[in-house]
Amino acid sequence: MSDQNATDDGRPGGSLAHRVPDLGALELLLAVARLGSLGAAAREVGITQPAASSRIRSMERQLGVALVDRSPRGSRLTDAGALVTDWARRVVEAAAAFDAGARALRDRRDSRLRVAASMTIAEYLLPGWLLALHAARPDTAVSLLAGNSAKVAELLLAGEADLGFVEGLTVPAGLDSAVIAHDRLIVVTAPGHPWARRRRPVTTQELAATPLILRERGSGTRQVLDTALGGLARPLIELSSTTAVKASAVSGAGPSVLSELAVGEELAMRRLVGIPVEGLSLHRDLRAVWPTGHRPTGPARELLSLTRG
């Protein structure tokens, strides 16, 4: 009988949950690397040494490589273990950022800082900033409201948010702002699209004449594109999140225009291809915004300072 978790050519199949160690195991491996002792690592993560040994052995069986050399003098990572530890560190850091973002989404009545952010910033930048804020102010409860740039302005002006982040070309009326970062939009397609095989850039006229997968009106991404094309962008599909636009582009539904923050992994893995456009500039500033005359104070001020770090 064939293994249901393997492909026909012997490569492992099934879900990542069956092939990637859980976070607790990865945190234990990082503690072993840092402390040089399985016993000390077990104490740090709050389990017994036999339980820690069992968890390391289970992880080694799961990955198919030896991770730790054990001796009376302590525990030392194998060469493979050192490499896996580097990967584990990135996974644990990403999980911590994910947790910070997810915690902020919860509607908490005792929130002391209410943050509103446009979708690209909320998806790709804000979790890291919130993680840094939690490290600096662990007792500060944060709630996050995500929407397009127009929605962020609406929330701030209605007094329903203390600090906002937008990505359009202009600052909405009634708000003060500070530039915190810079971004660039790029045209992308799936590898099978005819534009991906062209040797010369697409012209601005061609881009304007082609139906595109776009963010909805009111988003900063759409504002930048409409301005660059003189209001001529033609929507094939309009979607309300960067993730949805990206998924449609990856599926081959058509070309799209997205922040380079959002498509780095897809470009590296060749799930999307960047398309040069002749004579088109799609740069934009990312801004923190707040009601005019009400400079951020307290946790809002600290979060603002962290965005510039």
Mind listing the pLDDT tens digit for each residue in 242-272? 888 999 999 999 999 999 989 998 999 999 9
Percent of the chain with pLDDT over 90: 48
* 103 domain residue, yes or no: no
Domain boundary among 78, 94, 110: 94
What's the mean pLDDT in 53-72? 88
Per residue in 159-216, pLDDT (tens digit) is 999 999 998 888 889 999 999 999 999 999 999 999 999 999 999 999 999 999 998 8
Query: In residues, how long is the chain?
Result: 309
* 114 domain residue, yes or no: no
Domain coverage including residue 245: 181-285
Q: What is the pLDDT of residue 73?
A: 73
For residue 248, give the CATH number of its domain: 3.40.190.290
Domain boundary among 46, 78, 94: 94
* 292 domain residue, yes or no: no
* 233, pLDDT greater than 90: no
Percent of the chain with pLDDT over 70: 93
For residue 83, give the CATH number of its domain: 1.10.10.10
Domain count for the chain, please give it.
2
Assign 14 a pLDDT band (cuts: 50, 70, 90). Answer: low
Q: What is the pLDDT of residue 177?
A: 95
* 308 domain residue, yes or no: no
Rounded distance, CA 14 to CA 33, Å? 29
What's the mean pLDDT in 23-50? 89
* 239 domain residue, yes or no: yes
* 195 domain residue, yes or no: yes
CB 272 within 8 A of CB 250: yes
* 219 domain residue, yes or no: yes
Per residue in 136-168, pLDDT (tens digit) is 888 888 999 988 888 999 999 999 999 999 988
* 37, pLDDT greater than 60: yes
* Shared domain check, 281 and 185: yes
* 247 domain residue, yes or no: yes
